[in-house]
Chains A and B, each alone.
Chain A
Amino acid sequence: MKKRLGLVIDQERCIGCEACTVACKLENNSNGHCIRVETQNVAQKDTPEGRFPELKMDFMPRLCNHCADPPCVDSCPVEALVKREDGAVVLDQEKCDGCQLCVEACPFDAILYSGEKEKVEKCNLCVHRVDQGLEPFCVICCEGQAMHFGDMDDPSSTVSKLVAAREAFQLKPEAKTGPSVYYCPPKERRRF
């Protein structure tokens, strides 16, 4: 069935713990980290911006955006990357020849090259779980319960409701790739 499966990541609840990073690597036996948690606007992770004590620190897990119009799929000369009917952009590592054209094509730096495997790696939205009716492993391991999985095209889904209620945004809309990963921005602080 045609869907637009994706993730909504609530920055208000993300505590930057990197459980998603560890969970993803464990579940998918990857060499690199297909989800990486960025501490925003600073050079070193886990450090705040501003001057003490007027500080701010927000986290953003970055991963494949499972784009509606994925440039990586178009770039792959061996058809190792496929856009599925349910919206997931998946990599068939058997087919991958390690040319890395997709790495350059991805506007989100979401595809990694593994020198050890001589192939690329990326988030497959845990389709091996999704096909069994389960959620992606990162979602069930999220410490802050900040990650939500569902069909962006279904207006009654939790993810669609969150996108509407929280004015969720996509990364790099100017790239016009139609990401299926949305971010709910952190809420404004309510100073006394």
Chain B
Amino acid sequence: MNEKEETRLVRTVCPAHCGIDACGILAHVKGDRVVKVEPADFPNPRYRRICLRGLSSLDITYHPDRLKYPMKRVGERGEGKFERISWDQALDIIAEQFKDIASKHGWQALSWVLGGPGAGTTKFGAYLRLASLTQSTRVSAWGYGDAGLPCGSRVLLGTHTPYALLFGSIMGGESVPDMIIAWGTNPGEAQPLNIMRPIMNAKEKGALLVVIDPRFTVTASKADEYLGVKPGTDAALALGMMQVIFQKELQDAAFIKRHTVGPYLVRTDTGKFLRGKDMGVKDSQDYVIWDSNSDSPKVRSESGVESSILGTYTVNGLECKPSFQLLKDLADDYPPERASVITGVSSDIITRLAEKIGTSEKTVFVTNMGFTRTFHGDISMRALGTVAAATGNITATFRAGHRPAVLNWKPFLHADTSKPSYSRLGILQLYDAVISGKPFPIKAVWFAFVNFLNQCAHSSKIANEMFPKLDFIVATELFMTPTARYADILLPVCSYLEFSDFIPFPHPYVQLQQKVIEPLHECRSDVDIANGLAQRLGFGEYFDKGEDGFIDLILDSGDSSMEGITREKLKQGPMTLNPIPDMGQEIDIPFSTPSGKIELYSEGLREVGQALPVQLDPLETPLKPEGKKYPLSFIQGHTRFRTHSMFANVSALLELNPEPVAEINPQDAKERNISDNDMVTVFNDRGKTTLRARVTEGVRPQVVNISEGWWLDQFKEGSVNHLTHDVINPVQEAIYEPNMHMNDVAVEVVKYEEVEG
């Protein structure tokens, strides 16, 4: 058939920021138009996959509302009035403004506010390179809600994310655990392909599934047991389980001794680890254990010792306990009955889950960002990881296999090594930098792949206090988003089908996102845009090889994982990373913590009282709501209809999910005379939002959920982030970067008419 012959097939990748599934996409092209996308093949057919958003992605490329040419603001910021200008005009204005601001305030006052680049690398790299060369300021995206998990993971495991160590074993489908616990995460909706499929495969082969979540999610609907925990109480739940495990001596003592700081003695007077020098070994900083063979203290490097993890000992007149004993002492304060009162989960199920973990051969803990978006979410992560470590359920040895790709990021992070590189701010630190000039003033922002006003905490503060303080705002965007309306210069970017990028996912594959069609309208790729500006700032030589040049540069790490992988070969399809061959024996993974072990006890956090995963009250979530002005706990789950704020304007998805809803339990709805589908106002002292109520048993009583990512103008008024706060947790700031606590917010809900009346 003639129609058939005219269709060209191009393999590319959907790089949306959805948990980096990086689905391979086979694009069907007729003439210069993509007419269809379908899931592309992989060497392992298990990876052939697509989701409802990927299927709808043509609606983004060919959306009538695409920004089509560069524009200059002519109305007030936020008003959305712009006039068309040329690319040369736009880039000239930006270069001039940047130079002017830099001459007054220094280059540091210019900031690159980059969102999640999804699976992409070069568009992110291009701006980092420009930030590095101009010695301006890179604003990290982790604090959008994703910094709590790294804070916890860094302390406990010394890794930025704990995924591979916690649940890497089920991803390939090779091993089937007795039980999977999905804790504070909803992969059934947020990561259906990458994570939910392996969970369901394991379940099919006999694994039990337990889900811990304040919402009865799609994932929970597949669970054998569901624990509807109160937001912000996960550490108490973990401690309650540990109390049972330790009482019944179900911990994995061998694992604790070999892979954790559990046996290391801690001075009870200072909370510091006892060191060799404390017991008289000259200058020794080595950790000390209590050897039960000789009934004496030994430095850990000594051989032939049998360490104790329980007990109280005296060394050189100093009272000491193994850090595991301190953990046990803490857990002893949380018998299931007490944990039940705090968490809202029955003591019976806490006990039985704990016993099940303690007696199972292998339990896998699956987790993600959701439950870490509370004020002490980093501790929630550590608490979960501590249960896993104490029962030997963390991967701590390695024999052979695939490491993540090692990419050549250096030329982007530090392009000219003869000069300093960029300064760094976390996203929550940007607020103060703009508003009060601390720790240094920021006068201009460049927003790329980010819908900042929509997605960041405390919208009214951003719009009323932050944006007016900025001398200059640039945004690269596909659409006139709520953020784009505030730009002084607005630049139209390509959709994923219009540019090339290197995609180091899904593990163990790497892929090429091939340009399928030429950029539509006057759109340009982020790499192209960065190049245009670099030319004007005198750094053209670092950018003139375009996207392909950057892809080659990223591939060129020289690491064995990437050997033989080239852009040309990747055009044919995904390639597998080079594995590390079988070493013949298992080696202990060296954890990048101060001790090199899993730190059940963090010496560095003793002064703030967080050496152990303690239960601390959330900042706002009302654990005792009675009599409170704002008695309801507000959270923002993820939905399958969007990837954050992407896809919110796609008609194929709006047909299925037309408007935002506030999910509220029937018990709370009844008390407020709210029926399903009523318009309601959710509010607190910071702001309010009005939308339809969904009265459902799917959220626990005293919890209200609105899925994140709806655009401001899709609400009757306000938005989710009119309710959230920008309070910084200083402990997280010290560990890595402060997080936004979208799931630690107190609100009240009323029927809409009542407010108006």
Contact = CB atoms under 8 A, between A and B. Distances in A.
A53 B224 CA distance: 13
Given A52-B665, A140-B48, A144-B196, A25 B652 contact: yes
B722 interface: no
Please classify the interface of chain A as helix (H, G, I), strand (E, B), loop, or mixed, using the class held by over half of its residues: loop
Contact of B698 (A47, A58, A143, A145): A47
Interface string B179-215: 0000000001100110011001000100010000000
Nearest to B196: A15
A192 B225 contact: yes
Contacts of A191: 224-225
Interface residues of A, number: 38
A15 B226 contact: no
Contacts of A43: 676
B179 to A, nearest CB: 10
A162 to B, nearest CB: 12
B189 A15 contact: yes
B38 A55 contact: no
A68 interface: no
Interface in B202-236: 204, 208, 216, 218, 220-228
Contact of B700 (A15, A46, A52): A52
B218 A57 contact: yes
A48 B221 contact: yes
A172 B145 CA distance: 48
Contacts, number: 121
A16 B218 contact: yes
Nearest to A190: B224
Contact of A18 (B188, B197, B656, B676): B656
B250 interface: no
A148 to B, nearest CB: 13
B356 interface: yes
A17 interface: yes
Nearest to B221: A57
A156 interface: no
Contacts of B58: 26
A53 B52 contact: no
A153 to B, nearest CB: 26
Contacts of B220: 55, 57
Given A192-B349, A192-B352, A22 B55 contact: yes
Contacts of A190: 208, 224
A166 B51 CA distance: 26
A55 B698 contact: yes
Contact of A48 (B39, B50, B51, B696): B696
Contact of B52 (A18, A44, A47): A18
Contact of A44 (B38, B655, B696): B696
Contacts of A55: 216, 220-221, 226, 697-698
A15 B218 contact: yes
Nearest to A43: B676
B228 A53 contact: yes
Contacts of B353: 192
Interface in B337-380: 349, 352-353, 356
A39 to B, nearest CB: 9
Contacts of B55: 19, 22-23, 26, 141
Nearest to B650: A22
Interface in B630-665: 640, 652-653, 655-656, 665
A180 to B, nearest CB: 24
Given A12-B200, A141-B39, A145-B200, 7 more contacts: A15-B218, A17-B218, A46-B698, A47-B697, A53-B226, A57-B221, A143-B197
21 contacts: A15-B218, A18-B52, A18-B640, A18-B656, A21-B656, A22-B56, A22-B652, A22-B656, A23-B55, A44-B676, A44-B694, A49-B697, A52-B665, A55-B216, A55-B697, A57-B221, A137-B38, A140-B48, A144-B192, A145-B200, A192-B225
What are the nearest 7 A-B pairs in CB distance? A57-B221, A53-B228, A19-B52, A47-B696, A192-B352, A143-B192, A190-B224
Interface of B: 36, 38-39, 48-52, 55-56, 58, 188-189, 192-193, 196-197, 200, 204, 208, 216, 218, 220-228, 349, 352-353, 356, 640, 652-653, 655-656, 665, 676, 694, 696-701
